[in-house]
Amino acid sequence: MVRVLRRQVRGRTIVRSRLIRDDVVKNRSRSAFLRGIRRAEIRDVYRRAKNAVFDMKEYTLVVQPGMTGSFHVTDASTPVVLSDYPVLTMALDDGRRLTYRDVRRLGRIYLLRPDEWQSFSARIGPEPLDPALTAETFGAVLRRSRQAIKKVIMDQRRLAGVGNIYANEALFVSGIDPSRPADSLTASDCRRLLAAIQDILRAAVAAEGTTIRDYRTASGKPGGFQTQLFVYGREGEPCRNCGTPLAATHTIDARTTVFCYRCQR
Ligand SMILES: [Zn+2]
């Protein structure tokens, strides 16, 4: 999402904006929010954890699209259609318009001053795709917790960006029981798990994400990674590795965990 967005809006200035659903903005009043992004230049767009981050000099605009949010760039003359669930529209200085849509409004928007952005980002764990994250550092993070490994890798304060789908997949690929206490993983388990998380995230980003229900890419199409899933959504179907019917449980974190009894001992 961010990769496409960066190409489309970097260097543009917001000339006019409209906040159609203000409950999505979490830390500013409607008027303070609109004032803050007025005439702002989008210097860069990048991803941090599950957030699209717009660097706008005076402020950082953080959009957490959740499960159903998406960005669309169109000609400014294209009418805004309310049945498309628009939340925020921003007219750009090149005659186009950036719209943030959110079907179920599970997303969140924050407008942060530099110091607020610093502390926001500091509360999030390391990026799994950051080359600076070694298996040793990752292992040290895991050893600090006795919680189920699945819960720990999904805890955004410990590791950024891994949600339920990719946690299920990475634990399967690395052959690790999702309920195992994090501090029981060996150095080799940690290496395998980090490598699996990185592989899965890279493949999912390359496929423009996973669409289970409503998620759409920046070009309006569903993502492509759902066809490559090993376990998520495949309860009762044969394990792609050994043929054993996959099991599901909700006892680890109240979310669906699908796994193979044989491959993830
Ligand atoms: Zn299996």
The lowest-confidence range among 126-140, 221-235, 247-261 is 221-235
Distance (Å) from CA 173 to ligand 1 centroid:
10
CA neighbor of 88 nearest in space, from 56, 67, 111: 111
Total domains in the fold of the chain: 2
- Residues of the domain holding 149: 135-259
- Provide the 10 A C-beta neighbour count for residue 139: 20
Distance (Å) from CA 261 to ligand 1 centroid:
7
Distance (Å) from CA 229 to ligand 1 centroid:
14
Q: How confident is the model at residue 219 (pLDDT cuts 50, 70, 90)?
A: low
With 70 as the cut, is the pLDDT of residue 214 above it? no
- Provide the 10 A C-beta neighbour count for residue 72: 19
Which helix (H) or strand (E) is 33 found in, with range? Answer: helix 30-37
Distance (Å) from CA 241 to ligand 1 centroid:
5
Alpha carbon distance 233, 204 (integer Å): 16
Whether 106 and 192 map to the same domain: the answer is no
- Determine the residue type at 180: R
Distance (Å) from CA 155 to ligand 1 centroid:
26
**Burial environment of residue 15 by CB neighbours within 10 A (0 to 12, 13 to 18, 19 or more):** middle
Whether 170 and 95 map to the same domain: the answer is no
Distance (Å) from CA 245 to ligand 1 centroid:
8
Q: pLDDT of 81-110, one tens digit each? A: 888 899 999 999 999 999 999 988 889 999
Give the pLDDT confidence score for residue 34 in this predicted structure: 97
With 80 as the cut, is the pLDDT of residue 211 above it? no
Please indicate, yes or no, whether the overall pTM of this predicted structure exceeds 0.75.
yes
With 70 as the cut, is the pLDDT of residue 182 above it? yes
Distance (Å) from CA 226 to ligand 1 centroid:
19
Q: Which of 122, 145, 166 is the last residue of a domain?
A: 122
Hey, is 138 helix, strand or coil? helix
* 128 within domain boundaries: no
Give the pLDDT confidence score for residue 194 in this predicted structure: 98
Q: Which of 99, 122, 145 is the last residue of a domain?
A: 122
Q: What percent of the chain has pLDDT over 90?
A: 80
Whether 160 and 255 map to the same domain: the answer is yes
Average pLDDT over residues 16-21: 95
Distance (Å) from CA 197 to ligand 1 centroid:
18
Q: Mean of the per-residue pLDDT values for the chain?
A: 93
Give the pLDDT confidence score for residue 84 in this predicted structure: 86
Distance (Å) from CA 172 to ligand 1 centroid:
8
* 61 within domain boundaries: yes
Give the pLDDT confidence score for residue 224 in this predicted structure: 72
CATH of the domain at 66: 3.20.190.10
Hey, is 116 helix, strand or coil? helix
Average pLDDT over residues 106-124: 96
CATH of the domain at 151: 1.10.8.50
Q: pLDDT of 71-89, one tens digit each? A: 999 998 999 888 889 999 9
Distance (Å) from CA 225 to ligand 1 centroid:
20
Whether 243 and 151 map to the same domain: the answer is yes
Distance (Å) from CA 142 to ligand 1 centroid:
25
Give the pLDDT confidence score for residue 205 in this predicted structure: 86
Distance (Å) from CA 103 to ligand 1 centroid:
36
Alpha carbon distance 119, 44 (integer Å): 19
Distance (Å) from CA 239 to ligand 1 centroid:
5
Give the pLDDT confidence score for residue 177 in this predicted structure: 98
Which residues on adjacent β-strands are paired with residue 181? 148
Distance (Å) from CA 161 to ligand 1 centroid:
26
Q: Would you say 218 and 209 are in contact if contact means Cβ atoms under 8 Å apart?
A: no
Whether 245 and 173 map to the same domain: the answer is yes
* 151 within domain boundaries: yes
* 129 within domain boundaries: no
Distance (Å) from CA 133 to ligand 1 centroid:
29
Distance (Å) from CA 232 to ligand 1 centroid:
13
